[in-house]
Copies of this chain bind each other. A is one copy, B any other.
Amino acid sequence: MREVAIIGVGLTKFGELWDKSFRQLITEAGTKAILDAGIRGSEIDALYVGSMSPGRFIGQEHVGALVADSSGLTVMHIPATRIESACASGGMALRHAYIAVAAGIHDIVIVGGVEKMTDVVGSEATNILAMAADQEWEAFFGVTFPALYAMIARRHMYEYGTTREQLAMVAVKNHENALLNPNAQFHRKITVEDVINSPPVATPLNLLDCSPISDGAAALVLCPLEKAKEYTDKIVKIAGSGQATDSLALHGREDICTFMSTVRASREAYKQAGIQPKDVDVAEVHDCFTIAEILAIEDLGFVKKGEGGKAVEEGLTARDGEIPVNPSGGLKAKGHPVGATGVAQVAEIVLQLRGEAEKRQIPDARIGLAHNIGGSGASCTVHILEAV
């Protein structure tokens, strides 16, 4: 297995982008990544794209070929693969691109993540997202994603004394970080009171505990580490990659306050990278709801189980804290175009490790982690990146 570097990143703005189509978004992100890498499009050997439900959001499947085609890459007839794993589609696309480069199957690979969610009306987006849960055992009975995470939040509060305010503090922190991210969907400072007084969605989760419906795309260019110096001086390598599953429905788990997929995927990635959770300088984690970030920092091993809420309250995960989490603004405030999220998280970590994260730069970040979840934790990928 070869070591693999990320030599290019590209991001669109995230938001309600009614003037941009699926094709335009992914082509914009891909073009930016190619320019950032300083490669020619003709050097690309393969394309991977993560997207959750273009079939329902825009009436188009076969988006691997679509993205290759709209980027002009089908001229070279390169392989194009779409990977779907609900909101973990992006991270999983990266993982399979990584495996292909590590294996020596391909040299230069582009990975995209994209979702165009705002072209459907009314509650349709909620229905589509519910397809990430177990249709027959959850969604059919009326449970939507906020409801699933609300049950987790309730249990976490009961088991560990996590407070309503601590949940809110996750959103407050991430909105504050997003103020410094020009690509973020929301540029609005909020307070704990704003979150607590926002309209209820599924108690205890209010509107400001939930990530938004977003359009957006992100892209990365990968190559073997030994070739990376031909393209850049600021080399970031993939030091570890982990992927795991859990039961699709929450009721299949021993403990709904622990995402075993996060535990397993992260331990695999830590082992491969030869590091401990405490070695991570900056992390992007899957905060689709405020409770999800608390779970993530516990399951990733940054804090002990049950102490996530307290950690947020004490500022451990703030930009100037011991382990800054979601400096980009996270899914909550940067936006959550589901297929794009996992790729965008890694793009943020690359920028942080290169020292190019502008006003939200975490000083001296050398090791970063990206944590991407599908559904209520049935799928997870974790990637650890290292500045070389």
Instruction: Say whether B134 contacts A80, CB under 8 Å.
Output: no
**A274 to chain B: which residues have CB within 8 Å?**
none
A272 to chain B, nearest CB (A): 10
In the bound complex, CA of A245 to CA of B77 (Å): 5
- Interchain CB contact under 8 A, A1 and B103: yes
CB closest chain-B residue, reference A80: B245
Q: Tell me the chain A residues, 232-274 only, with Cβ under 8 Å from chain B.
A: 243-249, 252, 260-261, 264
Residues of B within 8 A of A139 (CB): 59
Minimum Cβ distance to chain B for residue A204 (Å): 25
Q: Is the CB of B105 within 8 A of A65?
A: no
Q: How many residues of A contact B (CB 8 A)?
A: 60
**A23 CB contacts on chain B under 8 angstroms:** 136
Q: Are A74 and B245 in contact (CB under 8 A)?
A: yes
A379: interface (CB < 8 Å) = yes
Assess the A62–B85 pair: CB atoms within 8 A.
yes
What is the CA–CA distance of A366 and B79 in the complex, to the nearest angstrom? 28
The stretch of A94-102, A219-227, A304-312 that contacts the partner chain? A94-102
Question: CA of A136 to CA of B378 in the docked complex: distance in angstroms?
Answer: 33
Given the contacts A52-B61, A131-B61, A247-B69, A81 and B85 also touching, CB distance less than 8 Å: yes
List B contacts of A78 (CB < 8 A). 244-245
Q: Which residues of B contact A100 (CB under 8 A)?
A: 99
In chain A, positions 1-50 with a C-beta closer than 8 Å to chain B are 1, 23
Taken together as a complex, chains A and B put the C-alpha atoms of A64 and B66 apart, in Å, by 22
- Nearest Cβ on chain B to A270's Cβ, whole angstroms: 15
Chain B residues with Cβ under 8 A from A83's Cβ? 81-84
Give the chain B neighbours of A56 by CB distance below 8 A. 55-56, 61
Do A374 and B264 touch (CB < 8 A)? no
Residue of B nearest to A85 (CB): B64
Interface of chain A residues 110 through 167 with chain B (CB within 8 A): 128, 131-136, 139
Query: Within the assembled complex, what's the spacing in Å between the Cα atoms of A245 and B135?
Result: 33
Indicate which residue in B61, B81, B252 contacts A132 across the interface (CB closer than 8 Å).
B61
A105: nearest residue on chain B (CB-CB)? B99
Q: Are B62 and A252 in contact (CB under 8 A)?
A: no
Whether, in the assembled complex, A104 has its beta carbon less than 8 Å from a beta carbon of chain B, the answer is yes
Most chain B CB inside 10 Å of its own CB: which residue of A63, A64, A245? A245
A340 contacts chain B at the CB level, 8 A cutoff: no
Q: How far is the CA of A122 from the CA of B33 in the complex (A)?
A: 43
A376 to B63, CA, bound (A): 14
A61 contact from B58, B63, B64, B86, Cβ within 8 A? B86
A61 touches B53 (CB 8 A): yes
Question: Whole-angstrom distance between the alpha carbons of A93 and B354 in the complex?
Answer: 35
A99 touches B103 (CB 8 A): yes
A60 within 8 A of B: yes
A65: chain B residues within 8 A (beta carbon): 85-86, 245-246, 248, 374-375, 378-379
A55-B131 in contact (CB<8A): yes
Docked Cα-Cα span, A281 to B81, in Å, equals 29
A131 and B69 within 8 A (CB) = no
The 7 closest A-B pairs by CB, nearest first: A103-B103, A65-B378, A79-B243, A62-B86, A61-B131, A69-B248, A77-B244
A-B contact pairs, 20 of them (CB 8 A): A53-B55, A53-B61, A55-B55, A56-B61, A61-B84, A62-B86, A62-B378, A64-B245, A69-B378, A74-B245, A74-B247, A77-B245, A77-B260, A78-B244, A78-B245, A81-B85, A83-B83, A84-B84, A96-B96, A102-B103
| Chain A residues at the B interface, C-beta cutoff of 8 Å | 1, 23, 52-53, 55-56, 58-66, 68-69, 73-74, 77-86, 92, 96, 99-100, 102-105, 128, 131-136, 139, 243-249, 252, 260-261, 264, 374-375, 378-379
